[in-house]
């Protein structure tokens, strides 16, 4: 096919696809004069000019941040509010107490080290995957187009654009072929903007139709998107109920802890006035367990390990809370093409309609394929089946747009004849009563994609009116020439994935730009419930509430425009649904951006990958259940262990209050609480936080945790203080305090172990073994002489030890009753 003429009458330079680009500026649109452009170099910069600009630092050197820096990770784990408090207490204990009472500090150091190591491992995984998924813009240098990394673009580079491409630096349009750019991510305005030569394009926008090239005028930190990134990094921890809930809990803990600690300090100094060091040691012993120091650590470790696990499955999590978010999702919206079906297509049939010759139609299809420099999947299948004869000249082209559902081109046929053609959705191009639509519907019911080739009416032919293809009524009077039947390949894993979502009570909604009947047939083959009741989105009400009602009642929607996809996501969210949107095309970007969680295929457009929180680099829809399962594991397990940590905080604060009110010595030294915390919280929490967990994520994290932690902590504190008071009246003499502490420790351990036993339910062999192992560990401490001395624990006599056990058993019974009452009174 002959190249189209450029504005100067000569052929334009070839793009990376070897096809010409046409300047849609001055020659065809005198109403919109072209702005004076920057100097246009059709072949791009030379290698020497690129090297010169690199030497001057005129390079797009903004780092792609997929994760926190190493320094930020270390700083975030080490310099925390609670680490600072524990550090001060640790130093004090080194001065006034024996080594055993400083063990809590070593535990914190070990925990912090574990947190840093796991986050660094997650960073390595994230950064490695980010490089794989990084956009590779096409840059023309020395007349040759090649893909380069975003950071390799220099000032003055000629960057080519096609549908779905993201504008990676600021620039000025040098070549335009019906170039339409969506700037909604920058301006919030969803309507595409037609760009002509000399117009400005900003980084962060993306191409929805047409093609072209622009000259980079601002790179690095001067580019618009980079300036936005300075204010908000790409790695932003947003919309995480888990993290915000833990922050809320820690805030309230701090408020409770400060006055309680002050009261404890004063009371212990008054009670132990003759032994300052012991008073300080017991004060610290009361303050340290109030701090849920391991909770934040385990949350970070759980997220980090989740990233590593998903990374092994080629799943790039661009924002960590996306793991949590997808676990909370109860509606997932799926685009058909590229999600339920594979990207490629095959032409299976060509039905030439009356009045047209098959050979002529073949030639038209070949010419249409050659007219588009960036063909979509449908046109690629046509190009493969009907190669261009190379003797027609394209005089005007209209690239495919998801909004209008068709493309077109006008040709000079070489023998003095001219014609204009449209290729697109039959039900969009034809009147509803056209007989051809019945044939198209019958094919759609088999799950096939059907395109109509139609000749534009003579009075709107491209030769007589070059802008006629852009007219809204261009299809009026068009003559149907042929039906092009395409078969889409179903993803082999799609049916199992849809079945998984149904099992997990996650509603799947298929929203596609294709014919509704065809989409329903594909969804039906995959076993989606409700696939037989399809809805044509052109008949959907504009009112949000009415649209939400339709969405709740149906599962398959066809002929959905990009803006409608976004409106549908908003309508579902207005009903309180947590919505995930999956897609790979530029028509999915607006919906991906507004959804609670956006999921893009790795083969998707640069724009979709830029706005998505999760990118499936292996293009496997079957990876989604793994992400959901990982999120549920994180949320469910952190909820479990948070209950353990906050039970300790509650009983520590209440014990301190009781000690202050009764004006007695605090019963425990730091070593005792270190032992209890390690056996009933630290070690088991680490295993529970990383264990498999398929429970559906529940909302209201703070309420869910505190409704168990408060009664458990109160029961533990009251039982322990009761045992301590009985022991004070039972024992006397020089070793009385040690004996009193020992039986109080026994009661507290048994009650805390029962809390662990409840948290570990439902039991599996390893969970039961974990609880028994912790009990056995405490028993070893009580019977091994050197451990008795090390932890200052020795049970004296039989009366009080058995009384301590009896009180613990009674507390466990009350705990079970309280737990069940909470479940009935405050259901999740």
Burial 51-64, CB ≥16 within 10 A → b, else e:
eebeeeebbbebee
Angstrom distance (rounded) from CA 808 to CA 749: 9
Angstrom distance (rounded) from CA 710 to CA 806: 22
Q: Is the dihedral of CA 309, 313, 314, 317 positive or negative?
A: negative
Q: Which residue bears the tokens 């949320």?
A: 635
C-alpha distances in angstroms, 407 versus 371, 451, 561, 582? 10, 11, 15, 25
DSSP annotation of 190 reads -
Contacts of 249 (CB under 8 A, 6+ apart): 292, 295, 642, 646, 702, 705, 706
Q: Catalytic annotation on 439? A: no
The residues with which 408 forms a beta bridge, in sequence order, are 398, 422
Q: Which of 300, 330, 248, 373 is closest to 111 using CA atoms?
A: 300
* CA dihedral angle for residue 800, residue 805, residue 806, residue 807, rounded to 10 degrees: 90
Q: Which of 759, 700, 640, 646 is closest to 244 using CA atoms?
A: 700
Element of type H or E holding 420 = strand 418-424
Neighbours of 15 (CB within 10 A): 22
CB 126 within 8 A of CB 316: yes
Angstrom distance (rounded) from CA 157 to CA 46: 9
C-alpha distances in angstroms, 110 versus 107, 314, 516? 5, 31, 58
Q: For 721, phi and psi rounded to 5 degrees?
A: -70, -35
Burial 679-715, CB ≥16 within 10 A → b, else e:
bbbbebbbebbbbebeeebeeebbebbbbbbbbbbbb
Question: From the DSSP assignment, how many helices (H) and strands (E) are in the chain?
Answer: 28, 21
Contacts of 684 (CB under 8 A, 6+ apart): 644, 756, 760, 770, 771, 774
* Length of the chain as a residue count: 828
Tokens (6 digits) for 489: 């390949």
Angstrom distance (rounded) from CA 820 to CA 671: 33
Angstrom distance (rounded) from CA 493 to CA 290: 49
Q: Where are the alpha helices (DSSP H) in 352-435?
A: 358-371, 377-385, 426-429
Tokens (6 digits) for 771: 């609880």
**Three-state secondary-structure class, residue 54:** helix
DSSP one-letter string for 789-821: HHHT----SSHHHHHHHHHHHHHHHHHHHHHHH
Side by side, the strands of the sheet bearing 597-601 are 315-317, 614-616, 597-601, 579-583, 331-334, 507-511, 556-558, 534-536
Angstrom distance (rounded) from CA 74 to CA 76: 5
Q: Which of 165, 177, 199, 335 is catalytic?
A: 335
Contacts of 503 (CB under 8 A, 6+ apart): none
Q: Which residue bears the tokens 């974990």?
A: 770
Tokens (6 digits) for 562: 């990009």
CB 336 within 8 A of CB 522: yes
Neighbours of 17 (CB within 10 A): 16
Active site residues: 335
């Amino acid at each position: 096919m002959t190249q189209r003429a450029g504005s100067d009458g000569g052929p334009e330079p070839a793009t990376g696809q070897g096809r010409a680009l046409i300047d849609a500026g001055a020659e065809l649109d005198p109403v919109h004069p072209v702005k004076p452009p920057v100097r246009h170099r059709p072949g791009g910069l030379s290698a020497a000019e690129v090297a010169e600009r690199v030497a001057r630092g005129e390079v797009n050197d903004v780092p792609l941040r997929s994760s926190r820096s190493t320094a930020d990770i270390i700083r975030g784990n080490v310099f925390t509010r609670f680490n600072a408090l524990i550090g001060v207490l640790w130093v004090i204990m080194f001065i006034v107490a024996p080594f055993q009472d400083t063990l809590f500090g070593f535990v914190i150091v070990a925990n912090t080290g574990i947190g840093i190591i796991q986050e660094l491992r997650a960073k390595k995984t994230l950064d490695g995957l980010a490089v794989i998924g990084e956009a590779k813009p096409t840059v023309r240098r020395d007349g040759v187009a090649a893909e380069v990394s975003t950071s390799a673009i220099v000032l003055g580079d000629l960057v080519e654009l096609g549908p779905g491409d993201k504008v990676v630096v600021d620039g000025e349009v040098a070549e335009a072929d019906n170039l339409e750019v969506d700037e909604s991510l920058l301006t919030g305005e969803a309507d595409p903007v037609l760009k002509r030569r000399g117009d400005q394009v900003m980084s962060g926008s993306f191409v929805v139709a047409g093609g072209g090239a622009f000259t980079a005028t601002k790179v690095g930190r001067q580019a618009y998107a980079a300036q936005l990134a300075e204010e908000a990094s790409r790695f932003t921890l947003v919309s995480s109920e888990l993290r915000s809930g833990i922050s809320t809990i820690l805030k309230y803990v701090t408020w409770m802890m400060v006055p309680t600690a002050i009261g404890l300090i004063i009371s212990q100094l008054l009670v132990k006035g003759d032994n300052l060091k012991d008073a300080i040691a017991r004060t610290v012993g009361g303050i340290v367990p109030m701090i849920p120091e391991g909770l934040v650590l385990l949350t970070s470790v759980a997220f980090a390990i989740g990233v590593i696990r998903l990374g092994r499955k080629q799943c790039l999590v661009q924002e960590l809370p996306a793991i949590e978010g997808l676990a909370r999702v109860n509606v997932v919206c799926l685009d058909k093409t590229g999600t339920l079906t594979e990207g490629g297509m095959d032409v299976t049939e060509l039905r030439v309609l009356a009045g047209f010759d098959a050979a002529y139609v073949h030639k038209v299809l070949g010419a249409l394929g050659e007219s588009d420099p960036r063909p979509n999947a449908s046109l690629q299948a046509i190009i493969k089946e009907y190669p261009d004869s190379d003797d027609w000249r394209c005089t005007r082209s209209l690239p495919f747009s998801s909004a209008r559902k068709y493309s077109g081109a006008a040709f000079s046929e070489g023998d003095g004849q001219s014609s204009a053609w449209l290729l697109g959705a039959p039900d969009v191009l034809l009147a509803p009563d056209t007989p051809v639509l019945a044939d198209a519907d019958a094919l759609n019911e088999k799950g096939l994609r059907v395109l109509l080739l139609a000749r534009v009416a003579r009075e709107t032919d491209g030769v007589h009116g070059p802008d006629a293809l852009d007219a809204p009524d261009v299809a009026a009077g068009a003559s149907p020439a042929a039906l092009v039947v395409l078969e889409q390949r179903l993803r082999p894993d799609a049916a199992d994935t849809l079945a998984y979502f149904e099992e997990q009570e996650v509603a799947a909604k298929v929203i596609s730009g294709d014919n509704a009947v065809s989409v329903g047939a594909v969804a039906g083959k995959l076993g989606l419930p409700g696939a037989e009741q399809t809805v044509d989105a052109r008949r959907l009400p504009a009112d949000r509430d009415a649209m939400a009602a339709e969405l709740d009642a149906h599962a398959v929607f066809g002929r959905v425009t990009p803006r409608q996809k976004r409106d549908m996501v908003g309508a579902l969210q207005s009903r309180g649904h947590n919505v995930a949107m999956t897609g790979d095309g530029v028509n999915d970007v607006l919906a991906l951006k507004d959804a609670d969680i956006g999921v893009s295929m790795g083969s998707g457009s640069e724009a979709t990958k830029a706005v998505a929180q999760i990118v499936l680099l292996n293009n496997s829809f079957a990876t989604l259940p793994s992400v959901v399962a990982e999120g549920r594991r994180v949320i469910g397990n952190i909820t479990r262990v948070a209950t353990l940590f906050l039970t300790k905080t509650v009983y520590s604060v209440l014990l301190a209050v009781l000690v202050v009110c009764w004006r007695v010595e605090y019963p425990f030294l730091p070593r005792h609480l270190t032992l209890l915390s390690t056996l009933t919280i630290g070690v088991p929490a680490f295993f529970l936080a990383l264990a498999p967990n398929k429970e559906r994520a529940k909302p209201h994290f703070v309420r869910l945790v505190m409704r168990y932690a408060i009664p458990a902590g109160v029961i533990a504190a009251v039982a322990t203080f009761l045992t301590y008071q009985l022991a004070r009246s039972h024992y006397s003499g020089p070793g009385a305090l040690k004996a009193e502490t020992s039986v109080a420790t026994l009661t507290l351990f048994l009650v805390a172990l029962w809390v662990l036993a409840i948290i570990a339910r439902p039991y599996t062999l390893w969970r039961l073994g974990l609880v028994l192992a912790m009990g056995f560990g405490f028993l070893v401490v009580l019977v091994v002489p050197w451990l008795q001395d090390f932890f200052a624990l020795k049970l004296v006599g039989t009366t009080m030890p058995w009384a301590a056990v009896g009180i613990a058993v009674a507390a466990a019974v009350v705990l079970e009753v309280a737990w069940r009452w909470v479940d009935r009174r405050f259901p999740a």
